[in-house]
């Protein structure tokens, strides 16, 4: 069988793609073509007879997952033609890490003591529940200030993710909260109980012949009379609700639909098309984490200063600093043609009037030392034109001695 579809890969990429069926760990930095290599690897397996239903393909974002699946199909079509579509359609285990994880939890829920009808809180929902529990226990009214809900949630998450006792987590990462160890244990126990109580709520829609998406229609019909009163773009809002109903028909249950929606929220909803503006252009605003696996012709990395990159909250240990360095590397390698690192001249301080001018200077990120500046073109903005100013004296030839006047004020 011809392997011409692998000709565009470099030697290392091709070796990874053509590896046999034994386990293989690939360590590759940002910008080395990991997404393209993975897509070729999956396509190569399918072309050589692997069952696509037994292939697990995971990535960080749904956008990257969709792009990888499309690449797999394009590559497979080069070899199998239209028959490739049948095989790639059978790639049922593709998605984000969170999405696949939620799917597996639901499949095996009965075996691990969960209700299959669980829903997933996003970060804001979790913080709200933590705050409610914190208030119920009276910790929001302590004599000395108890950690805020965001801090409590961060401590809880760290304990769960690193599987360490709360005392160790507080000592290493949250030393200013060490005095509250006992209270935080009590808070987290109540928080878990609250989550489990909500997890077993019965969302029965099975007895309705129209299916659960019909509930969305009823909600929309109730809500429509209020759209004109609440929103200026009522027509657009109504179209969004109808679109939401159509999307919901692709999910077997409300729980599955809410899980997917929570794990991968849409960036925005669309408006009606209108006449283009002369200065209208295309811009994508992304976090560094969300940009993983993506590539753009031109990339602008904002705030390339110490305190932002690296974050002043992530320089406690050498490992944290190195992780921040890696993130900058990820951001820089997203650029295909043009890369711009933006170093602000000043940051305006908070707590002043809108027209206030109090500010601080910021230093360039430590990850771009002076030794590397020769690799960059440097420019400043705004560019100020220096113009000579001529001072013309009065016609009577008289001059004023300002220095003498200042001295005379104190004599």
46-60, 92-106, 175-189, 198-212 — most confident range: 175-189
Q: How many angstroms separate the Cα of 410 from the Cα of each of 85, 268, 400?
A: 92, 67, 18
Tell me the H-state helices in 249-317: 254-263
CA distance 97 to 60: 6
Q: How many angstroms separate the Cα of 112 from the Cα of each of 142, 163, 203, 275, 294?
A: 38, 18, 20, 55, 36
* DSSP per-residue string spanning 144-169: SPPPPHHHHHHHHHHHHHHT--HHHH
Residue 180: other Cβ atoms inside 10 A: 23
Q: Could you give the dihedral angle defined by the CA atoms of residues 17, 20, 21 and 27, in that order, rounded to the nearest 10 degrees?
A: -50
Flag whether pLDDT at 106 surpasses 90.
Answer: no
Name the DSSP class of 411: -
Cβ–Cβ under 8 Å, residues 293 and 67? yes
CA distance 250 to 269: 19
CA distance 68 to 57: 9
Answer yes or no: pTM beyond 0.85. no
Phi/psi region, residue 272 (left: phi>0; alpha: psi -120 to 50; beta: rest), is beta
Identify the pLDDT of residue 230. Answer: 83
Distance of CA 240 to the CA centre of its chain: 23
Flag whether pLDDT at 107 surpasses 60.
Answer: yes
Identify the pLDDT of residue 211. Answer: 63
Q: Tens digits of per-residue pLDDT, 254-308?
A: 777 777 776 666 656 666 666 665 555 668 888 888 888 788 999 999 999 998 9
Question: Six-digit token pair at 195?
Answer: 């989550």
Q: Tens digits of per-residue pLDDT, 64-82?
A: 788 888 888 888 888 777 7
Identify the pLDDT of residue 14. Answer: 93
Flag whether pLDDT at 35 surpasses 90.
Answer: no
In the chain, % of residues over pLDDT 70: 85
Identify the pLDDT of residue 167. Answer: 93
Q: Please compute the mean of the pLDDT values over residues 16-35 and round it to a whole number.
A: 86
In the chain, % of residues over pLDDT 90: 19
Cβ–Cβ under 8 Å, residues 96 and 69? no
pLDDT tier at 201 (50, 70, 90 boundaries)? very low
Identify the pLDDT of residue 200. Answer: 34
In this structure, of 27-36, 100-109, 227-236, 273-282, the range with the lowest mean pLDDT score is 273-282
Label residue 163 exposed, middle or buried (CB < 10 Å: 0-12, 13-18, 19+): exposed
Identify the pLDDT of residue 383. Answer: 63
Strands 93-96 and 56-59: parallel
């Amino acid at each position: 069988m011809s392997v011409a579809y692998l000709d565009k890969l470099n030697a290392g990429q091709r070796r990874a793609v053509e590896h046999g069926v034994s386990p293989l760990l690939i360590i590759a930095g940002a910008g080395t073509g990991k997404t393209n290599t993975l897509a070729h690897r999956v396509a190569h397996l399918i072309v050589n007879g692997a069952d696509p239903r037994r292939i697990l393909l995971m990535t960080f974002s749904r956008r990257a997952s969709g792009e990888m699946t499309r690449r797999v199909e394009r590559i497979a079509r080069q070899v199998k033609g239209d028959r490739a579509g049948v095989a790639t359609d059978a790639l049922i285990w593709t998605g984000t890490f969170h999405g696949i994880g939620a799917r597996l939890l639901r499949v095996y829920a009965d075996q691990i003591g969960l209700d299959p009808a669980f829903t997933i809180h996003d970060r804001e929902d979790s913080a709200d529940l933590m705050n409610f529990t914190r208030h119920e226990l009276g910790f929001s009214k302590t004599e000395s200030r108890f950690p805020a809900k965001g801090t409590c949630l961060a401590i809880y998450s760290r304990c769960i993710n690193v599987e360490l006792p709360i005392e160790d987590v507080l000592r290493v990462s949250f030393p200013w909260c060490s005095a509250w160890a006992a209270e935080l244990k009590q808070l987290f126990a109540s928080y878990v109980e609250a989550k489990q109580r909500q997890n077993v709520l019965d969302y029965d829609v099975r007895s309705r012949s129209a299916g659960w998406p019909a509930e969305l229609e009823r909600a929309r019909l109730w809500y429509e009379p209020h759209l004109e009163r609440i929103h200026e773009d009522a027509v657009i809002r109504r179209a969004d609700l109808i679109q939401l109903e159509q999307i919901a028909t692709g999910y077997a249950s409300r729980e599955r639909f809410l899980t997917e929606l929570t794990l991968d929220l849409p960036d925005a909803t669309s408006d009606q098309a209108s006449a283009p503006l002369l200065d209208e252009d295309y811009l994508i605003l992304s976090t560094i984490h969300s940009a993983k696996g993506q590539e753009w012709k031109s990339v602008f990395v904002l705030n390339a200063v110490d305190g932002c990159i690296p974050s002043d909250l992530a320089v406690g240990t050498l490992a944290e600093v190195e992780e921040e360095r890696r993130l900058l590397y990820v951001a820089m390698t997203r650029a295909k043609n043009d890369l711009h690192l933006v170093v602000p001249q000043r940051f305006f301080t908070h707590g002043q009037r809108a027209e206030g001018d109090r500010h601080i200077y910021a230093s360039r990120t430590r990850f771009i030392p002076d030794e590397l500046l020769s690799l960059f073109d440097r420019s400043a903005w705004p560019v100020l034109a220096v113009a000579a100013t001529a001072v013309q004296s009065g016609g009577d030839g008289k001059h004023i001695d300002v220095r003498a006047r200042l001295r005379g004020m104190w004599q």
